[in-house]
Amino acid sequence: MNGANLDLNASITQIGRNVIVTISDNMTDDRIHEISDIIIEQTHRSGASGAILNFAMVSMIDSYIYKTFESTSRALTLFGVKVVWVGLSPGVVCSMIDLGIEPDENVMHTAMTLEQGLAELAGMAAQ
């Protein structure tokens, strides 16, 4: 898996029952697709209960990237995994809103930082 991580410009780490994926900048469409597949596979295999997609390093999200990660999140919710998107920067958010993207509360939650994201997952697990 680690070898794959190096190739994919993304790190997938598991801490406790949560999978944390850090997504990097400048990815090609194919890479994004591969990363998405790997996230779903890894989360399924490890039986995680929560997933965090960290976009802190991403400087731009276009409709394709959004769509791909949204479908990924949708797939993860089918396993009963709670998904939180964290680290979206103000510029990224502005461009997403301008693109008319409407995030679905049932699919993914959002938090500002990784820490808050983990707190959110813990809160959801407690409920």
Partner 1 sequence: MEKRESGLLASLELKEQILDQIPTPVMAVDKEMRLLYMNKASLELLDKTMGEVAGKSCYDTVHSSHCGTENCCMRKAFKTGEPCSDRTELNSKNGKIQVEYYAVPLKDDNGTTIGGLEFAVDITAQAQYEERLREQNQTIRLMSTPTIKLWEGILVLPVVGVIDSLRAQNMMETMLTRIVDTYSKVIILDIQGVAAVDTAVANHLIKITKATKLLGCECILSGISPAVAQTIINLGIDMNAIKTKSTLSDALSEALSLIDLEVKEKQS
Q: Which positions touch partner 1 (CB under 8 A)?
A: 85-86, 88-90, 93-94, 96-97, 102-103, 109-113, 116-117, 120
In the complex, least distance from residue 45 CB atom to partner 1, rounded to whole angstroms: 28
**What tokens were used for 8?**
């994919």
Cβ-based nearer residue to partner 1, 76 or 111: 111
Cβ-based nearer residue to partner 1, 68 or 89: 89
In the complex, least distance from residue 75 CB atom to partner 1, rounded to whole angstroms: 20
d(CA 27, CA 25): 6
**What tokens were used for 10?**
């993304």
Q: Which amino acid is at 50?
A: G
In angstroms and rounded to an integer, the radius of gyration of the C-alpha atoms of the chain is: 13
